[in-house]
């Protein structure tokens, strides 16, 4: 039996992960499940999977969680520290699927236990890539990417020599506004941005897909995880979302990873690694699909892609600043305090404002990353209020 924990269990990735786990009840023992405000779902999942402990990230949700789990013998806890503590319980495999920088401390804690961390929380690598990789190395743990593009690159690299990689192409569906003009995008509402043409995901990543901030985070994630220099990483529009990534080698050959737009493939690959097991995803019918199309992304329409390149070049704590500013700008857009294009404007201004500070020029620790994150949120609040 493999001991499994899922952080962000009540989200889109968490529920898909537990769906796969439920199909093989004899193979897995569930240790810890964490959620946020959706206490009813957290309790339901904890009971269904006989978890040892269920943790909500928010203290005020604890009474409801306790009520829902009373008499079950399942432990309960609340608060972000309790989430991180739960990640310290020994597990062979941990899913990191909290949304945002809040996923970093529990992810690091899980890496300290020496098991496998299935990483959906791309923000961890964007904010603290070197720290995540170094922690994994020090404790003999493994990080497996779950983001579909990065799982695709990982799979295309199996048996290959990374030194022979010339280029990595990650694809983008284009999100909700791929066929909209810049003028129309300027008036977009949060509801319009939160409807994705191909993927069924959480609200925040879906809006990030419409603004290309998701792809921007993924460019940085590719750079941090695979150690590929920024000039060799490309984003490519591919509206069908069937090819998730392509790896080009020094001999001109490319390995493309193709699969349905269903996160259970990437989650299941990480769950079963190093083996492959059958997964309940659609089998593609290429004759029916007919064709795959591609186009270059428009960096004027999507400034997030340019900002990602600047962040990769600058390195250090700029990833943490970029992510925190993006999270604050996304909150402001969802609350209708700023318009859609102002998200990128705010993030750029925060990067410029903090670039001349002495922020985190030294070694990277969890404290320096959290400090950069906090300072970026303060700067973002001021900048957003003045927009």
| Chain residues that interact with ligand NDP, rule: CB under 6 A | 8-14, 35-38, 57, 80, 83, 97-99, 102, 120-123, 147, 199, 201-202, 204-205, 263
Least distance CB 387 / ligand NDP (angstroms)? 25
- CA distances in angstroms from 162 to 273, 275, 322, listed in the order given: 19, 21, 28
The pair phi, psi for residue 287, each rounded to 5°, is -65, -35
Shortest CA distance to 347 belongs to which of 373, 331, 327?
327
Q: Which is nearer to ligand NDP, 80 or 272 (CB)?
A: 80
Least distance CB 166 / ligand NDP (angstroms)? 26
Least distance CB 147 / ligand NDP (angstroms)? 4
Per partner kind, with CB cut-offs from 5 to 8 A, the member of Mg ion, ligand NDP, none near residue 202 is ligand NDP
Q: Which is nearer to ligand NDP, 175 or 349 (CB)?
A: 175
Q: Which is nearer to ligand NDP, 13 or 46 (CB)?
A: 13
Number of residues that bind Mg ion (CB under 5 A): 3
Cβ(125)–Cβ(224) below 8 Å = yes
- CA distances in angstroms from 314 to 63, 307, 311, 320, 350, listed in the order given: 45, 10, 5, 12, 14
Cβ(296)–Cβ(212) below 8 Å = no
Q: What's the rounded Cα separation, in Å, for the pair 248 and 157?
A: 10
Query: How many residues would you count in the chain?
Result: 387
Q: Which is nearer to Mg ion, 244 or 375 (CB)?
A: 244
Per partner kind, with CB cut-offs from 5 to 8 A, the member of Mg ion, ligand NDP, none near residue 132 is none
Least distance CB 302 / Mg ion (angstroms)? 15
Q: Which is nearer to ligand NDP, 12 or 349 (CB)?
A: 12
- Find the binding residues for Mg ion in span 111-170 (CB under 5 A): 147-149
Least distance CB 117 / ligand NDP (angstroms)? 13
Q: What's the rounded Cα separation, in Å, for the pair 189 and 204?
A: 14
Q: What's the rounded Cα separation, in Å, for the pair 103 and 84?
A: 9
Q: Which residues bind Mg ion (CB under 5 A)?
A: 147-149
């Amino acid at each position: 039996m493999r001991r499994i924990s899922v952080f962000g269990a009540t989200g889109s990735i968490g529920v898909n992960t537990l769906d796969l786990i439920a199909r093989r009840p004899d193979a897995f023992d569930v240790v810890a499940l964490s959620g946020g405000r959706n206490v009813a779902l957290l309790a339901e999942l904890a009971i269904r999977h006989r978890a040892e402990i269920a943790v909500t990230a928010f203290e005020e949700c604890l009474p409801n969680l306790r009520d829902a789990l009373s008499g079950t013998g399942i432990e309960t806890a609340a608060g972000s520290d309790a989430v991180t503590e739960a990640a310290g319980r020994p597990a062979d495999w941990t899913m990191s699927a909290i949304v945002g920088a809040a996923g970093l401390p529990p992810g690091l804690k899980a890496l300290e236990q020496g098991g496998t961390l299935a990483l959906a929380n791309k923000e961890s690598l964007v904010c603290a890539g070197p720290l995540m990789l170094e922690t994994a190395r020090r404790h003999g743990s493994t990080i497996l990417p779950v983001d579909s593009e990065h799982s695709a690159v990982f799979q295309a690299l199996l048996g290959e020599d990374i030194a022979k990689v010339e280029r990595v192409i990650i694809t983008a569906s284009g999100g909700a506004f791929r066929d909209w003009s810049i003028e129309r995008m300027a008036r977009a509402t949060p509801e319009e941005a939160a409807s994705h043409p191909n993927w069924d995901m959480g609200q925040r990543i879906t809006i990030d897909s419409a603004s290309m901030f998701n792809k921007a985070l993924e460019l940085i994630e590719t750079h941090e995880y695979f150690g590929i220099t920024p000039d060799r990483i490309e984003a490519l529009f591919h509206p069908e979302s069937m090819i998730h990534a392509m790896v080009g080698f020094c001999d001109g050959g490319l390995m493309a990873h193709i699969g349905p737009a269903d996160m259970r493939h990437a989650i299941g690959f990480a769950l079963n690694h190093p083996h492959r097991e059958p997964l309940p995803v659609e089998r593609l019918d290429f004759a029916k699909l007919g064709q795959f199309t591609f186009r270059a992304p428009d960096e004027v329409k999507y400034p997030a892609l340019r900002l990602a390149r600047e962040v990769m070049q600058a390195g250090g704590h700029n990833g943490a600043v970029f992510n925190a500013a993006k999270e604050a700008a996304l909150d402001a857009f969802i609350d209708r305090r700023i318009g859609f294009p102002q998200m990128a404007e705010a993030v750029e201004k925060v990067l410029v404002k903090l670039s001349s500070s002495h922020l985190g020029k030294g070694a990277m620790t969890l404290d320096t990353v959290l400090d950069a994150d906090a300072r970026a949120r303060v700067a973002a609040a001021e900048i957003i209020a003045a927009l």
